[in-house]
Structures are given as C-alpha cells and as structure tokens.
C-alpha cells in the first residue's frame, strides 16, 4: 500500500478538517501515482477483467448500504442528514412551512475539501468539460454494478437536463483531484417553480449527485450537498426538491417504477435488470405485441407553435396535484420541445385547433456490457402526460407504439399522477425499485404517489 506517514485529514459534518490516519491511508490508496497502488493495478487490467472483479465485489459486498425501506431506515443513524433542515423520520407532520429560518448572511467562502481536491464550476459550454462530465457519470452513476448495462449520458442529454431557462453556471458544481485535474465528483441544481399543497415557491431541483467509485464512503457527499446549498442560498433560494432510490430523512412521497417492455426479445437477450417476465420468449413476444400504428386522430409530434397550448394544458393539469412544477412558456419549450435522442413529445390537436392531449418521454441510453450482439439499449421515461379526456389508456397505448417506432426497447413510468389507471391495463409490470421524493427545508404532510405531479429527469 502507500506511505502512511503523509499528512492525514478528513472532513467532519460541519465541513472542518479532522485528522484520521486510517481514512488517509484509504485516500492515499486512491491516488494514482504510487506503483503499488491497487487502483493503478486495477486500471492496468482489461475492461473485461475489471468488470469480472467488480461483479465479484458486488456479489460478496458486505459494505454499508443505505436503507431502501422506511423500516430499514428506522435503525440507521444519519450522521449528516440529522444536522440538516429536513423532517425527522417518524415525525407526524401536520403543518406547512420552512424548517430553518433564512440566515441573515450566507457563508462567503466555499466549504473546505480534503488536501488534494478542489472545487471547479463546470463550464458546460466547453465540449471538453461536457465530455468529462459524461465520462464521470457514465462510469460512476449507475448504482448497481450488475455487469449488464451502464448509463450512457450524451452531451446533448446533459445540456438539456442541466441548462433549462435561468440555469446558473455556479450550480454545476464539480470536484477535481489537484494532481491530475480529474473530475471525481459532481452535483447540480436547476431552478424551478414548485407547488407544494397551496404554496408556490421558487426553489431548485438537485440533480446528478455523483462521486467517483474510488472515492466512495469517504463522506464527500455531505460536502458536495453543503457546498451546493451555499451556492443556492447565495441566490436567495432556501428550498430544494430531489429524488433518490435510498431512504433519507424523510420521504415526502414514495413511488414505484413500472416497466413496459417494447422489445422483449432484446431485453430477455441481455437479461435486462429488474425485468419480471415469468414466461418464455415466444409467449412474451405475443403477450406484449403492440399495434403497428396509433389510433388517436390528430396525434402528432409537438412543434414550436404548440408551446402555448401545451403550457395551458399542463397548467390546468398541475392543479390536480399536491406536488407539481409550474412551467413558464420558456420552460415548456425547453423541457418538452422534441430533441433527437433526448426528449419526445406528442400532442393531439382537436378540430378547433385546441390541444387536448400532451405526452412526453425522455430518453435514457444504456451501454450493454459483454454481449455478443447488443451494444446499447434505450429506455423511454414518462415525463408529462396531460389530457382533457378522462381515460388516458388509449392515448398512452399510442405513446407506447410511438416509442417503439422510435427505437426504444422499454418504457418506464412511475406510479405518480393518474398513471395507475393505465399501467396494468397496458402491461407495465411493477419493479422492485422505489423512488423517494424529498424537500429540503420544507415540512408538510406526506403525499400519496397519485398526488405527485412532478417527474424529475436525472
Ligand atoms: C450517491 C453517492 C454520491 C453517495 O456516495 P457515498 O460515497 O456512498 O457516500 P458518502 O460517504 O460520500 O456520504 C455519506 C452520506 O451521504 C448520504 N447520501 C448517500 N446517498 C445519497 C443520496 N443519493 N442523496 C442524498 N444523500 C445521500 C448518506 O445518507 C450519508 O449521510 P448520513 O450519514 O446522514 O446517512 C454515490 O454512491 C454515487 O455517486 N452513486 C451513484 C450515483 C447516484 O446514485 N447518485 C444519487 C442519485 S439520487
């Protein structure tokens, strides 16, 4: 291993530095320069070999994992989250409002990092920086090292997700290693008007929290969150909305993912994680067959001239929920107007020219690992669906047909909004994965999934 005499410090929850030889030893191990560094040795192996090792580590891992259920969470100590203005697990909240009062002054200087690391505000207008972010996320964002698929974020997707109207560069918060400038951590926020029950607030959506695999379990996440929070506070905003697969204090709502195979043959071929098809291929193909063409008259891709109509349809629809975002015209244009391989939106225009339906789904791409035939896989994620009609089933079936014709292999949706009405009818199956919604510095009663009208793309 590496030299254990080097100076050793580690971050405490308040952002200060504290000595810890054991931790420093681990951090030194991460550094790339030493010839006997195990990570250098690992890097020198072929990708296939690395994946085999990763799979073995994953299978035999006994390391600490965060709770995935509320029951597990009750026995977990949240060293960081217990210091934050978020509701405590188990509290029965009946009031609405901020948890911490706004501080008069916001800390001027960035939070301290361990020696050898620096903050870097990422300039996403630079294609080099954008590619660095793609690399960090594509190699480190996928939670499960199942050795089957890995996320594959494109530069276009990241620009869409991170640069909506009024985005700020300082909210694209990167963490680099001083020695080689490698990007090893990231957290971002984008502004949004969010409605929680009766309150409308300007806040941020937090996205793409990611720490390099070699830097895990070193308490970098609390520093990233604190630093982003400081930068958000500097702009006068005090609340945030975010989602996570893990249980933290305290979910506002807990939702489930549902999946609908569009290309069952390929999904079964690659052994797509979480796919629950208890039937053979022949039956699956027959059972999941979709019509060749759509049924709804007037259904077509959204264009620029539909922005106002879509805006008004979404606005009316959002009033049905207890958690939703209120999009401006510019935001509707940004988040919904179709972009190749990023976002698809379809509308239905009535004979009177008024839009009666909008459905949008964003694209998650995956790289398929170690497969002799398939190299990539595309998932469509339901983002918005709004209609003046009462039953969405036929329209959603059309959305599946369109997604399939656009080359998607699977369609995923959360059981938010009124989605439960069509999920089973359209042969979606519920997955094991949950997604929990959180608000930072805001308390209010919990919300059932059908009253959540907000989907946050990664
Ligand atoms: C999420 C991730 C950054 C956590 O890193 P880590 O090295 O496991 O955790 P750290 O040692 O840095 O920090 C631990 C603290 O972060 C918190 N934390 C972990 N994951 C979190 C998440 N997704 N959101 C908020 N806080 C999180 C933990 O609860 C813990 O605080 P606690 O003591 O109060 O429980 C890392 O696992 C990662 O990059 N994963 C892949 C991408 C991903 O899943 N991102 C999250 C999307 S929501």
Q: Express each pLDDT in 104-138 by its tens digit.
A: 789 999 999 999 999 999 999 999 999 999 999 99
Ligand 1 center from residue 217 Cα (angstroms): 8
User: 196 lies in a domain?
Assistant: yes
263 and 174 within one domain: no
Taking the centre of ligand 1 as the mean of its atom positions, its distance from the CA of residue 251, in whole angstroms, is 15
Q: What confidence tier does 458 reach under pLDDT thresholds 50, 70, 90?
A: confident
Domain count, the chain: 3
Quickly state the pLDDT bin for 41 (edges 50, 70, 90).
Answer: low
Residue whose CA is closest, atom 9 of ligand 1?
217
pLDDT band at 4 (very low <50, low <70, confident <90, very high): very low
Asked, for residue 47, whether it belongs to a domain, the answer is: yes
Q: Which atom of ligand 1 is nearest to the CA of 76?
A: 35
For residues 204 and 341, state if they share a domain: no
Average pLDDT over residues 20-44: 52
Whether residues 151 and 280 fall in one domain? no
H or E element: which one contains 386?
strand 376-387
The 10 Å Cβ neighbour count of residue 41 is 10
Q: Which residues pair with 242 in a beta bridge?
A: 438
Angle between helices 155-162 and 127-140 (to 10 degrees): 100
Quick one: tokens of 415? 């059981």
Same domain, 298 and 186: no
The predicted structure's pLDDT at residue 122: 98
Distance 69 CA to ligand 1 centre (A): 16
pLDDT exceeds 80 at position 66: yes
Per-residue pLDDT at 278: 82
User: Residue 101's pLDDT is what?
Assistant: 85
384-402 per-residue burial string, b: 16 or more CB within 10 A, e: under 16? bbbbeeeebeebbbbbbbb
pLDDT at position 288 is 96
Asked if 397 contacts 291 with a C-beta cutoff of 8 angstroms, the reply is: yes
* Between 178 and 15, residue with greater pLDDT: 178
Q: In terms of C-beta density within 10 A (0-12 exposed, 13-18 middle, 19 or more buried), how is residue 457 classed? A: middle
Reduce the DSSP state of residue 401 to 3 states and report it: helix
Whole-structure pTM value: 0.88
Q: Looking at ligand 1, which atom is closest to the CA of residue 82?
A: 34
> Distance from the CA of 278 to the center of ligand 1, in angstroms?
34
Q: With 70 as the cut, is the pLDDT of residue 367 above it?
A: yes
pLDDT digits (tens, 9 = 90+) for 71-100: 899 889 999 999 999 999 999 999 999 999
What domain range is 369 assigned to? 254-453
Which are the contacts of 128, defined by CB distance < 8 A and separation ≥ 6? none
Task: Give the residue, by CA position, lying nearest to ligand 1 atom 41.
Answer: 141
Q: Is the residue at 249 inside a domain?
A: no
Asked, as a colleague might, if the bond just before 250 is cis with ω within 30 of 0, I would say yes
Give the Å distance between the CA of 246 and the centre of ligand 1. Answer: 9
My answer on whether 302 and 432 are in the same domain is yes
Q: What is the pLDDT of residue 47?
A: 65
Residue 157 near residue 164 (C-beta atoms within 8 A): no
The whole-number average pLDDT for the span 279-305 is: 95
In the reported structure, the alpha carbon of residue 150 is separated from the centroid of ligand 1 by a whole-number distance in angstroms of: 19
DSSP category for residue 230: H
Please indicate, yes or no, if residue 278 is contained in any of the structural domains. Answer: yes
Q: Indicate which atom in ligand 1 lies nearest the CA of residue 218.
A: 11
Per-residue confidence band for 103, with pLDDT thresholds at 50, 70 and 90: confident
Residues 290 and 227 in one domain: no
115 and 46 belong to one structural domain = no
Which range has the worst mean pLDDT, 48-52, 80-84, 171-175, 306-310?
A: 48-52
Pick from 173, 246, 294, 303: which is nearest to 434 by CA? Answer: 246
For ligand 1, the distance from its centroid to the CA atom of residue 42, given in whole angstroms, is 24
**Mean per-residue pLDDT over the chain, rounded:** 89
Instruction: Please tell me which residue, 360 or 7, carries the higher pLDDT value.
Output: 360
> Nearest Cα to 411, choosing from 385, 390, 389?
385
What is the number of the ligand 1 atom nearest to the C-alpha of 211? 39
Which residue's CA lies nearest to atom 22 of ligand 1?
A: 244
Closest atom of ligand 1 to 243 CA is: 48
CA 180–ligand 1 middle distance (angstroms): 24
Same domain, 160 and 212: yes
Same domain, 260 and 236: no
Average pLDDT, integer, range 158-168: 98
Confidence class for position 310, pLDDT limits 50, 70, 90 = very high
Q: Do residues 386 and 418 share a domain? A: yes
Quote the distance between the C-alpha of residue 65 and its chain's center.
Answer: 19
In this predicted structure, the answer to whether residue 6 has a pLDDT above a threshold of 60 is no
Q: How far is the CA of 174 from the centre of ligand 1 (A)?
A: 15
Closest CA to ligand 1's atom 27: 221
Cβ pair 242, 442 in contact under 8 A: no
pLDDT in tens, 165-224: 999 999 999 999 999 999 999 999 999 999 999 999 999 999 999 999 999 999 999 999
pLDDT at 62 over 50: no
Q: Whose CA is nearest to atom 16 of ligand 1?
A: 221
Question: Are the C-beta atoms of 453 and 318 separated by less than 8 Å?
Answer: yes
- The two beta strands, 410-414 and 253-261, are antiparallel
Which range among 1-15, 72-86, 260-274 shows the weakest confidence by mean pLDDT?
Answer: 1-15
246 domain residue, yes or no: no
Note the pLDDT of residue 27: 46
**In a mutational test of the pocket of ligand 1, which residue from 111, 221, 458 has the highest number of ligand atoms less than 8 Å from its CB?**
221
Picking from 176, 208, 240, the residue at the C-terminal end of a domain is 240
3-state secondary structure 403-446: HHHCCCCEEEEECCCCCHHHHCCCCCEEEEEEEEEEEECCECCC
Determine contact, residues 226/429, Cβ cutoff 8 Å.
no
> Residue 416: exposed, middle, or buried by beta-carbon count in 10 A (0-12, 13-18, 19+)?
buried
Give 199's strand partners: 196
Question: Residue 234 falls within a domain, yes or no?
Answer: yes
Closest CA to ligand 1's atom 10: 219
Co-location of 292 and 268 in the same domain: yes
Mean pLDDT to the nearest integer, 298-327: 97
- In sequence order, the β-bridge partners of residue 434 are 256
* Beta-strand pair 429-440/452-453: unpaired
Percent of the chain whose pLDDT exceeds 90: 76
**Residue 243 contacts residue 435 (beta carbons within 8 Å):** yes
Q: Cα of 351 to ligand 1 centre, how many Å? A: 51
Whether 1 is covered by a domain: the verdict is no
Pocket of ligand 1 (CB under 6 A): 66, 78-81, 140-141, 143, 209-211, 216-222, 244, 246, 248
Q: How far apart are CA 241 and CA 237, in angstroms?
A: 12
Mean pLDDT of 288-299: 95
Is residue 53's pLDDT more than 90?
no
Ramachandran region, residue 325 (left: φ > 0; alpha: ψ -120 to 50; beta: rest): beta
Which of 24, 41, 60 delimits the end of a domain?
60
Which of 210, 240, 270 finishes a domain? 240
State the Cα–Cα distance between residues 208 and 432, nearest whole angstrom.
22
- Paired tokens of 98: 């901020």
**Of 169, 239, 170, 166, which is closest to residue 443 (Cα–Cα)?**
239
Structure token digits, residue 343: 């976002």
Looking at the CA of residue 83, tell me the nearest atom of ligand 1. 34
H or E segment to which residue 357 belongs: strand 355-368
Q: Does residue 213 belong to any structural domain of this protein?
A: yes
Q: Which of 93-97, 387-391, 425-429 has the lowest mean pLDDT?
A: 387-391
Q: Is the pLDDT of residue 11 over 70?
A: no
Q: For 343-368, what is the mean pLDDT? A: 95
Question: Domain with 164 in it: what CATH number?
Answer: 3.40.630.170
| Whether the predicted pLDDT of 455 surpasses 60 | yes
Is pLDDT above 70 for 145?
no
pLDDT of residue 40: 59
All residues at 6 or more sequence positions from 2 whose CB lies less than 8 Å from its CB, including other chains: 25, 28, 29, 31, 34, 36, 37
Ligand 1 pocket test: which of 83, 209, 223 has the largest number of ligand atoms within 8 Å of its C-beta?
A: 209
Q: Please tell me whether residues 317 and 341 are part of one structural domain.
A: yes
Distance CA 110, CA 294 (A): 53
């Amino acid at each position: 291993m590496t030299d254990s005499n080097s100076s050793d410090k580690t971050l405490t929850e308040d952002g200060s530095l504290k000595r810890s030889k054991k931790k420093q030893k681990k951090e030194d191990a991460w550094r790339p320069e030493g010839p006997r560094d195990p990570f250098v040795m690992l890097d020198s192996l072929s990708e296939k070999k690395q994946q085999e090792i990763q799979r073995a580590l994953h299978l035999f891992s006994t390391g600490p994992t965060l709770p995935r259920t509320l029951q597990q969470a009750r026995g977990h100590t949240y060293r960081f989250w217990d210091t934050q203005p978020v509701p405590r697990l188990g509290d029965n909240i009946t009031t609405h409002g901020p948890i911490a009062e706004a501080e008069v002054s916001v800390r001027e200087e960035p939070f301290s990092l361990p020696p050898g690391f620096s903050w870097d505000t990422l300039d996403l207008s630079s294609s080099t920086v954008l590619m660095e972010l793609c690399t960090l996320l594509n190699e480190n964002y996928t939670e499960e090292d199942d050795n089957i698929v890995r996320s594959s974020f494109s530069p276009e997707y990241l620009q869409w997700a991170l640069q909506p109207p009024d985005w700020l560069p300082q909210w694209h918060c990167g963490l680099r290693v001083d020695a080689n400038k490698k990007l090893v951590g990231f957290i971002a926020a984008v502004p949004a008007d969010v409605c929680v029950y009766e309150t409308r607030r300007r806040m941020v959506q937090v996205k793409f929290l990611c720490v390099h695999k070699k830097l895990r379990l070193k308490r970098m996440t609390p520093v990233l969150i604190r630093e982003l929070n400081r930068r958000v506070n500097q702009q006068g905003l005090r609340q945030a909305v975010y989602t996570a697969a893990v249980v933290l204090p305290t979910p506002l709502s807990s939702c489930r993912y549902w999946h609908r195979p569009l290309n069952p043959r390929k999904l079964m071929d690659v052994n797509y994680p979480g796919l629950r098809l208890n039937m053979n291929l022949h039956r699956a193909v027959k059972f999941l067959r979709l019509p060749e063409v759509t049924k709804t008259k007037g259904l077509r891709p959204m264009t620029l001239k539909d922005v106002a109509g879509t805006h008004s349809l979404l606005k009316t629809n959002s009033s049905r929920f207890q958690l939703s975002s209120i999009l401006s015209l510019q935001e509707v244009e940004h988040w919904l107007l179709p972009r190749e391989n990023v976002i698809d939106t379809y509308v239905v225009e009535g004979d009177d020219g008024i839009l009666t339906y909008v459905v949008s789904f964003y694209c998650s791409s995956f790289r398929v690992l170690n497969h002799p035939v398939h190299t990539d896989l595309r998932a469509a994620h339901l983002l918005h669906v709004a209609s003046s009609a009462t039953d969405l089933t036929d329209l959603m079936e059309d959305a599946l047909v369109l997604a399939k014709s656009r080359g998607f292999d699977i369609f995923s949706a959360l059981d938010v909004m009124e989605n439960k009405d069509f999920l089973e009818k359209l042969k979606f199956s519920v997955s094991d994965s949950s997604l929990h919604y959180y608000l930072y510095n805001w308390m209010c009663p919990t919300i059932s999934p059908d009253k959540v009208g907000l989907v946050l793309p990664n």
